[in-house]
């Protein structure tokens, strides 16, 4: 893809993001993610790079405190992808890039399922397999917080993986009724990439953490060739900043910080209702 084509695609996506984010404005006060005690966290990322765009700052906040963060990468490219599969010594280049990005985010461990992207939403067998993988990860690792991609999102992979993640949690709830010893995460959140959450919490990023987040994003050179994702991150921040500055209590939070990330807390009692309304 030429530089001009990349710029045209980036500009188009930015315009779409501005429209999408304008439909879910923030006209209320937010809670600080620092007040949520999450020391053993699972981040579910539909694609390698979503962990950076959506919560790369929050991951650093946790790892700087020596907390445990696991990242589950669900998909890899196929021939239908915007960015075609690229390999280096027989390994997906994007997975290699995720390892480089990890050096900036410092999370504990990652898992790569390598399901082909853009087909999961039409294959219920693969969805059921993913549901049970997530269920077993939560059960075996006893996470006290799960970060899930937002279901109100342009990308069909994000929507179906959000739904499957919630279905895994719903399965855990059902199993817990029979076995009280099963662990249930205390904190559940949606994070933002290609669509706004009904934000309830904010993670404040200082200059160092923000710089590290952008450096992690630049590790994904295969993706940066098709879209300038640094501009995408900047666009989300600018749109949300304008909304936050309308509320005095939120303005106080934004003093002396470089950037931020927004999250929507998921109440366990609402999981079934959310699953039923997700449009695939």
- Is pLDDT above 80 for 270? yes
Does residue 81 surpass a pLDDT of 70? Answer: no
Rounded to 5 degrees, φ, ψ at 188 are -125, 135
Is the pLDDT confidence value at 265 over 80? yes
Q: Which residues contact 280 (CB under 8 A, 6 or more apart)?
A: 121, 156, 159, 160, 163
- Spatial contact of 232 and 53, defined as CB atoms under 8 Å apart: yes
CB-based contact 190:197 (threshold 8 Å) = yes
Say which residues have a Cβ less than 8 Å from residue 99's Cβ, sequence separation at least 6. 110
Report residue 80's pLDDT band, with 50, 70 and 90 as the boundaries.
Answer: low
Lowest mean pLDDT among 35-44, 177-186, 229-238: 177-186
| pLDDT computed for residue 251 by the predictor | 73
What pLDDT digit, counting tens, does each position of 99-120 carry?
999 999 999 999 999 999 988 9
- Looking at residue 87, its pLDDT comes to 86
Could you tell me the CA-to-CA distances from 103 to 97, 106, 107, 109, 272 in Å, in that order? 10, 5, 8, 11, 37
What value does the mean pLDDT take over residues 198-206? 94
Q: What is the pTM of this model?
A: 0.95
For residues 18 and 14, give the distance between their C-alpha atoms in angstroms, rounded to a whole number: 6
Helix (H) or strand (E) holding 205: strand 201-205
pLDDT at 277 over 80: yes
Q: Once rounded to an integer, what is the mean pLDDT over residues 145-150?
A: 97
Q: What is the mean predicted confidence (pLDDT) over 52-73?
A: 97
Q: How would you label 218-257 residue by residue, b for 16+ Cβ within 10 Å and e otherwise? A: bbbebbbebbbbbebbebbbebbeebbeeeeebeebeeee
User: Is the pLDDT confidence value at 135 over 80?
Assistant: yes
175 CB contacts (<8 Å, ≥6 apart)?
A: 182
DSSP state of 1: -
DSSP annotation string for 103-165? HHH--SEEEEEEEETT-GGG-HHHHHHHHHHHHHHHHHHT-SEEEEE-SSSS-HHHHHHHHHH
pLDDT for the residue 214: 98
Tell me: the pLDDT tens digits for 155-175? Answer: 999 999 999 999 999 999 998
**Average pLDDT of every residue of the chain:** 92
In three-state secondary structure terms, 194 is coil
pLDDT above 70 (res 236):
yes
């Amino acid at each position: 893809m030429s530089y001009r084509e990349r710029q045209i695609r980036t500009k188009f996506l930015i315009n779409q993001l501005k429209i999408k984010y304008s439909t879910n404005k923030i006209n209320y006060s937010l809670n600080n993610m620092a007040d949520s005690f999450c020391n053993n966290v699972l981040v579910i990322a539909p694609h390698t790079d979503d962990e950076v765009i959506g919560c790369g700052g929050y991951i650093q906040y946790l790892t700087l405190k020596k907390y445990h963060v696991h990242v589950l990468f669900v998909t890899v490219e196929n021939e239908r992808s915007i960015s075609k599969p690229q390999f280096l010594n027989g390994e997906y280049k994007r997975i290699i890039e995720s390892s480089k990005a990890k050096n900036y985010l410092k999370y504990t461990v990652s898992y790569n399922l390598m399901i082909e992207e853009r087909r999961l939403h039409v294959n219920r067998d693969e969805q059921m397999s993913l549901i049970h993988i997530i269920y077993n990860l939560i059960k075996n690792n006893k996470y006290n917080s799960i970060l899930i991609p937002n279901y109100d999102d342009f990308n069909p992979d994000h929507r179906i993986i959000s739904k499957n993640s919630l279905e895994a949690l719903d399965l855990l709830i059902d199993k817990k009724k029979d076995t009280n010893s099963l662990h249930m995460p205390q904190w559940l959140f949606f994070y933002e990439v290609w669509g706004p959450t009904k934000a309830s919490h904010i993670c404040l990023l200082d200059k160092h953490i923000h710089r590290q987040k952008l450096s992690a994003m630049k590790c994904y050179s295969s993706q940066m060739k098709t879209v300038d994702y640094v501009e995408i991150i900047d666009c989300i921040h600018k749109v949300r900043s304008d909304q936050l500055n309308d509320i005095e209590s939120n303005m106080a939070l934004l003093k002396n910080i470089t950037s931020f990330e927004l999250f929507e807390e998921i109440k366990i009692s609402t999981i079934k209702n959310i699953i039923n309304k997700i449009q695939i």
